[in-house]
Amino acid sequence: MRQFFTARPATFALALVAVVFAVDLALPLGVAAAVPYTFAVLLALAARPGWVGPVVAGLCMVLTVAKVEIVPERGNTEMWKVIVNRCLALFAIGMTTLLGLLRRRAEERARQHEAALARMGRLAVAGELATVLAHELNQPLAAVCLQADVAVHLARDDASPELEAALGEVVEQSRRAAEIVRSIRRTVRRAEPERGPVDLNDASRAVVRFLDWKARRSGVSVQLKLTDPVPPVHGDRVQLEQVIFNLLQNAIEAGARVVRIESAPEGDAVVVRVRDTGPGLPDPGRAFERFFTTKPDGTGLGLAISRGIAEAHGGRLSARNVEGGAEFTLALPAHREERP
Ligand code: ADP
């Protein structure tokens, strides 16, 4: 039934407008028959493109006023009551439209934020892979270059032009390969962080919202025990959300039944702890190692990237096994406003 309405909301909205208008015309002016237009507006606000909602709302308002001109039959109702009645209908339609549009904008923002988080996650993995590749390939490529250079000289001494040409090609191609590795590294380098004050409580709540569907599907209960307020930290909100996101996602994927996210100021730092009731870390010493994973489709980069982000913010990310699960602690320096 719901699908039936959501498939073509604009059509249903217009059909409802026609029905309400017909009923409104049939009834005397004293009856508040224009109020049901608000349901049509609600339906229209779900339609794409975004202008359908406001246009349908405008149409409803015009029809609400037009009825007074088309069928001026008032019954026993005084004129002032008719006017108040119509004004209330206009107000209801207007408010429904306004609230609907505000809600839609908030949803749009949340969607964009979620997309940014996913994009950042993919970029971070690509950046990390490129760093490792550049690092690992640089040395062997440099060695190939050097040895081929030496061989070119030997071939020259032996007066073997074909061998010299072939080795020259090896030098050329290995230099090219080294340049390609460097350019990939430059292309996927992490975007410049946008730094500002970040409330880690807000970040935690946002992450819980993003992963709500995944937690529910896996039968995991996520509990927030936040100390409110905590001092802000200075950093890139999307990156810091990325860290909490990785921790919560790992806990869910580890098969925990309950995950608890706590926040608290501790000394000069703000701490976020993610504790779960899963099987615990298989090897706490290696959890932050690049490419260490126990998942069939894991990259083993999530925790390495998260620790890198924490350290780039002047903080740290640590892990340990506690009674009945794993516990991760993110500690970041609190950002105090400098007083003039
Ligand atoms: P990935 O998720 O791709 O495996 P990560 O770096 O995020 O990469 O995690 C590395 C490994 O650490 C995981 O494969 C898993 O074995 C272990 N791990 C991480 N978080 C938890 C947790 N909450 N409980 C148990 N094991 C965990």
Q: What is the pLDDT of residues 98-122, one digit of tens each?
A: 999 999 898 888 888 878 888 878 8
Which pLDDT score is estimated for 223?
A: 97
Segment of 92-101, 136-145, 294-303 carrying the highest mean pLDDT: 92-101
Of the pLDDT bands very low, low, confident and very high (cuts 50, 70, 90), residue 79 is confident
Does residue 185 carry a pLDDT above 60?
yes
In angstroms, what is the span from residue 152 Cα to ligand 1's centroid?
49
Query: Where is average pLDDT lowest: 57-71, 79-93, 177-191, 211-225?
Result: 177-191
**Which residue in 9, 90, 96 sits closest to 44, CA to CA?**
9
Q: Residue 302: its pLDDT value, please?
A: 92
- Considering the domain architecture, whether residues 49 and 133 belong to the same structural domain is answered as no
Q: Give the pLDDT band of residue 325 (cuts 50, 70, 90).
A: very high
Tokens of 6: 């959501």
pLDDT value at 340 more than 60: no
pLDDT for 5: 57
Beta-bridged to residue 321, according to DSSP, are 326
Task: Give the pLDDT score at 158.
Answer: 80
Domain count, the chain: 3
Nearest protein Cα to ligand 1, atom 8: 300
Q: Domain check: are 266 and 239 in the same one?
A: yes
**C-alpha span between 301 and 293 (Å, rounded):** 8
Residue that the structure tokens 């090219």 belong to: 176
Q: Cα(300) to centroid of ligand 1, in Å?
A: 7
- The alpha carbon of 18 and the centre of ligand 1 are apart by a number of angstroms equal to 57
Q: Which atom of ligand 1 is nearest to the CA of 325?
A: 24
- The residue segments making up the domain with residue 124 are 119-188
- Which of 172, 188, 204 is a domain's end point? 188
Measured CA to CA, the distance from residue 288 to residue 302 in angstroms comes to: 8
Please indicate, yes or no, whether residues 40 and 12 belong to a single structural domain of this protein: yes
Same-domain status, 213 and 325: yes
For residue 15, pLDDT over 80 is answered with: yes
Instruction: Among 242, 244, 293, 329, name the best residue to mutate to test ligand 1's pocket (greatest count of ligand atoms within 8 A of Cβ).
Output: 293
Entry pTM: 0.68
Beta-bridged to residue 273, according to DSSP, are 262, 329
Domain boundary pick from 113, 132, 160: 113
Q: How confident is the model at residue 184 (pLDDT cuts 50, 70, 90)?
A: confident
* Residues 51-60: contacts with CB under 8 Å, at least 24 apart: 52/9, 52/10, 52/13, 53/97, 53/100, 53/101, 53/104, 54/97, 54/101, 56/10, 56/13, 56/14, 56/17, 57/93, 57/94, 57/96, 57/97, 59/17, 60/17, 60/20, 60/34, 60/93
Index of the ligand 1 atom closest to the CA of residue 274: 23
Bigger pLDDT: 159 or 290?
Answer: 290
Residues 42 and 98 in one domain: yes
Could you identify the atom of ligand 1 that is nearest to the CA of residue 292? Answer: 10
Residue nearest to atom 7 of ligand 1 (CA): 302
Domain boundary among 80, 113, 146: 113
Residues 6 or more apart whose CB falls under 8 angstroms from that of 42 comprise 96, 100
- Same domain, yes or no, for 176 and 232? no
- Residues contacting ligand 1 via CB (< 6 Å): 246, 250-251, 254, 276, 278-282, 287, 292-295, 298-304, 326
In a 13 Å sphere around the CA of 150, the CA atoms on its Cβ side amount to: 5
- The answer to whether 260 and 272 are in contact (CB under 8 A) is no
Does residue 339 fall inside a structural domain?
A: no
Q: What phi and psi values does residue 164 have, to the nearest 5 degrees?
A: -60, -40
Q: Mark whether 65 and 154 lie in a shared domain.
A: no
Atom of ligand 1 at shortest distance to CA of 246? 7
Q: Please report, rounded to a whole number, the percentage of residues in the chain having pLDDT higher than 90.
A: 52
Average pLDDT score over the chain:
88
- So what's the pLDDT on residue 192? 66
Cα(287) to centroid(ligand 1), Å: 6
Are 310 and 204 in a shared domain? yes
Residue 135 in this model has a pLDDT that exceeds 70: yes
